[in-house]
Structure 1
Amino acid sequence: MFGTDGKGLRRNKRSRYSHLESLEDRRVLAPVISEFMAVNDSTLQDVDGDYSDWIEIHNPDATAVNLNGWYLTDSESELNQWAFPDVTIPANGYMVVFASGKDRSNPASQLHTNFKLSSDGEYLGLIRPDGQTVEFAYAPNYPAQTADVSYGLSLDLQSQGVLPFATPGSANSTNPANARNSVVINELMYSLPRAGLTDAENIDEEFIELHNRSSQAISLAGWRFTRGVDFTFPAVSIPANGYLVVAANVASFQAKYPGVNNVVGNWTGKLSNNGETVELVTEEGLVADTVSYASQGDWSVRTPGPNDRGSRGWIWGAPHDGGGMSLELINSAFHNN
């Protein structure tokens, strides 16, 4: 798993400035070697059908970067070992280079270095066009590698280690392989009480609670609510068997529940009082959990009466619908939809 020793982070830090009208300096984020596989037995084929070693370069900056004249090397004594052709990585993009020893630098095709990676561990660096400045390196050596297991940086680029699964050409994940099936929508507060029939509810007090039912902490960085409300998670994790509240408005939530500290927000939109679908997706866009709720249905606890104005089906007797109570998953092991 990941350490925090900071090794491999780029040695040279540079600050540049954005447009002249801005008074704030902007740090340009240089490319990094975000992931590599030194023993590729069955993970990724090159154009020849071979399972060659591969290296992933990530551009974390908000602008594209041209790598023409940059170098990759597995030797600290030969920094200009293999040169990039005129290729560009888009903003926040990725590029895979095969470390096959085939030495191919046609920008219109797959790129192949003139060296292979050692499974026993060695130096691996990304060098600037001057052939001397080490922008990023796994130094003095990356550790011994395992077949079809990639090594690289955490999603925030601050630590390095064995990755739970390979993601060549896309964002890395530091989560266990079952992370997507481990986080569930556990509680919804969607219909707040009103002082009177004509009074508006305080939608800032709405919230959604998530539960991690696994035995490992899970990072939610880049995860999103894509239906129901709109919210992208910051760099936050749910501890093993723990909980996290996502609030419509953090300040309003903490004022009402001052003892709850595991809360993030704020989201855009509101939860419908009449029912809708709430969907949680991972940073890769894969659906982690979906909940459809309603204020009435065949699973409620009483039949409609003469004052229910033609409502069909059973109606909730519990005060979750405008009575100040939330809708909660009873058993996190069961399907909640």
Structure 2
Amino acid sequence: MISRSLILLVAGLLALFGVTTLTWSLAAAAPAEPGNQSNLRINEFMADNKNTLEDPDEPGEFPDWIELHNTGSTDVALDGLFLTDNPDRPTRFTITDGLTIPAGGFLIFYADNDPGQGPLHLNFALSRHGGFIGLFSGASETYIDSYTYGLQEPDVSEGRAVDGGESWRTFLTPTPGATNNFLPPEISNVQQMPPEPGISDTVTITAKVVDERGLASVTLFYMTTGVGEVAVPMTATGDLYSAQIPPLPDRALVGYYIVATDIDDLSSRMPRVTQQPFRYMVGFQAPLIFINEIVADNEGSLASPVDPTESPDWIELFNPGPNQVSLDGLFLTDSRNLPTKYPIPSGLTIPPGGFIIFYADNTSDVNDPDRALHTNFALSRDGEYLAIYAHAELEPIDEIEFGPVSPNVAWTRYPDGGDTWVQNACVTPGAANEVCDPQSHLPWVSN
């Protein structure tokens, strides 16, 4: 095979003698000039693609992806270039000869570790925990472009704020295969009034929506049991947009989201596509109760009422209000994916300003009244998630993600029902919290 250096040498010599047209009998076309290839940039990527960009060669799959951009005014061939996720292996993936990016254009590579699917599928995948992306030139044996990234969020891309520019930003609305220069609309400050609608209430949804080049439409979409998705155009008062959801039957579960589209046909959704819609239940008022104290490594701070020789982990709930609160229909869980994991037995109440203790020992038995307060999960002393739910489709009544803890040391709200959590060596099960040797911490998940 004729080498690239020999081709360039012969072409240069012929040019000296006025020969400007040369045809080569080669399997592949001559590569683009290095100067043209230097105009290429890694422009955008996604390392945790859940639903944003579907694999055109394998529908139903959503691989991670890397977008290259040609910043120049002429087409650029990618012959002789490589992509990699390892700076010590610059030639990890050989880009197939013959691929070209037009002037000002873009090309997507799918980082799915499945190169057998075609020339745009890489032999490596990206890590959502952080990593490296490099575009390497075999001819010059240098990196044309590279980028080191950190932890990534699902369906959020990272890219250059301006195509080919120096600064990078995240894109809640990614733009694979398209320009980064025009930002999609920004939706913020979504409000619902009233917060807990009754059966006769019309619900007003408001949001602030802005766009640097101009909005084409802002629409509220809502849905409920037995009713398909309903679109309601939102009306503007300055940057504030509003629309209404009509009164619906008692206990109807309602979901809604907002879509804004600008004059460049770029759209944003709030909440994002990968997130659940905003929700409320008609006629439902969440009780005001708190997870108030947690011991996740009990070695004698509180004995089990069923077996005094056992010391299960425990959870204290607190009712700060002036009225008794029923726990009927509520759930405790240590998993976001299982919000109704432990159904609290019917008939339990918390008196005004009072407390109730649940024993987290994974010994729940619906047929044993003595174990009514024992959950079907245990706590981890290394820390975990804990929440109270009223419905699997609604936001939790209260939640916390707590960190590691020592034996017989509690995670405690101080004061009772307050926003601040402390690690507390003076546990107070079923009573007002008192703090000694405090180590103050903000809540890992706030209300």
Quickly name the TM-score band, shorter chain normalised: 0.3 to 0.5
**TM-score, normalization: structure 1?**
0.44
**TM-score, normalization: structure 2?**
0.34
* Higher percent of residues as strand: 2
Choose 1 or 2 for highest CA Rg: 2
